[in-house]
Each structure stands twice: as C-alpha cells, then as structure tokens.
Amino acid sequence: MKNILVPLGISPNDVATLKYATDFAAHYNATLYLIDNTEGLPGSFNIHNIGKKIEQITHNKLEQIIEEAKVKNNAIKIVDSEEDLIDTIHDLDEEVNLDLIITSPSSMDFKENFFLGKSTGRIVKQSRIPVLLAPINAAFTSPTKALFAVKKRQVKQEKSLSALKALFEKFSFSIHLLLVKTPEYKEEQAKTKNAFLSENVTENLTTENATVYQGVLEYFKVVNPDFLVVFRRKKGFFEKLWESNVVYKKDFYCTIPLLVLKEF
C-alpha cells in the first residue's frame, strides 16, 4: 500500500482516526492524503505538502487535527478541493491510485442510533476504493485473526482482494472464511475459485441465514476475530442496510476494524 486517503471533518473522533491511520500507514511507509469533507460546488482540486507554510494551506480544521494528533508531517498531504466528496475521491484516485480509505464509522450528523452517518455511508457505498472503518477512539494494533464473511467464495477479479492481500502479507493473520447460504444460494457459490483464498484460508465455515450479517452474528463469538472483512457487492453484505446512505446500529454494529472490499 502506497497511498491512503483519510477523510476528516466528518467525525468528532478525527484526532483518534488520524492517529490510527498514521500508525497503520507506518507499516507500509505509505503517504496519507487528508481531505476535509466540506461539500462544495465543482471547482479547484489541488494537493498540498504539509511542509509548506501554514498560510498556503486553506483548511485550518485539518491543520488543527494534525497538530492535536502530533503526527509526522513528511508522510501527509492535504487534498484541497471544492468538488463533491465522491468526485474528489474519484479524481484523487485517478491521480495517485489510492489503495485504501481509512475513516471513522460516525459522521458529523451522528446520532446515538447511527453506526454510519450520511457522509461515511456515501464513502463506503459510492466510492470504488476499499474502506477500513477504524473503531471509534481505538489505537491500531496488528490483526491476528480475521473473519471474512461472504455469500459466495468466487471472486471475479484479483483486484477485488488487493487490500486484504496487502494486509495479509504484512501481518500474516489467520483468515476464517464464512460462507453464508442465504435464501437465494446456489451450490456453485460454495466453490473457491481463487488462488489466494485457496492457499491462505485457515478455516472454511458454512452457515445458513437470511442475511450475511446474521451469519456474522452467529459465528462472531465462535471465531472471536479482531478484524472483520466483507464485500460491498451490488447484492451483498450491505444490500438491505443501504437503501439510504445511513446505517443504523439496530441493523449493524461493529466494535472491531471492518474492511469493506469492493467487487470489480
């Protein structure tokens, strides 16, 4: 992983999120790109080195977060954009090839019953970049055991697993692959047609449930993971949760890091 985006200004936990992202990025010597999630009209798009004079950087809010987090400046850049958030992420990806987005589950419109607010929900739902949702106020620790919940074991393109592969190569955690047989399940979905999964999965698990999330709940205590991995497919883990951009705690809640992969 070389380039990681960290949207800030969308959560009351921004300082902790930036610390988490900085500690994570240090394992890869990756560059962090910070963006202030202030929706605006189409306009300029620029990337600033943090090392420039403070008056050359327009987002004082980001500067304050960086100062409070006490992170090193040489691996951080600020993305200055007046575009819509998703358009900005798309443009930045085109320019630097983003490997991952790290963000907090809660947004500025956070209410006690929300797991994801509108801004974070849009990022996960509409961007094409894998998203790592860092637990609120948690410090980054190397994962040792991942629960990977899927509706089918087939993966169309290797690119879809790139973020998981990068994490596995760095931290060598065990992968417990949970196949959830939902009502629309077909037998061919049980076949693993992917070299990475065939070679590196520690344990294959199977359950029958109405949704993937219910399968996760069933096996969460059994596996006791410190890392949860799911796919954001057109018909997948968040299909029913995201008829709108928000996700309610009554429908889904996670207290460990959640990696949301995108299917290509």
Token reading at 183:
């009502």
pLDDT (tens digit, 9 = 90+) per residue, 92-137? 999 999 999 999 886 444 455 666 667 777 888 888 999 999 988 8
Architecture of domain 3-133: 3-Layer(aba) Sandwich (3.40)
Output the CA–CA distances (angstroms, integers) from residue 228 to 94, 150, 232, 255, in the order listed: 28, 11, 13, 10
pTM: 0.85
pLDDT (tens digit, 9 = 90+) per residue, 177-235? 999 998 888 888 888 878 999 999 999 999 999 888 889 889 999 999 999 999 876 65
Q: What are phi and psi of 102, to 5 degrees?
A: -115, 125
CATH class of the region 145-244? alpha beta
User: Where are the chain's structural domains?
Assistant: 3-133, 145-244
The domains spanning 3-133 and 145-244 adopt the same CATH topology: yes
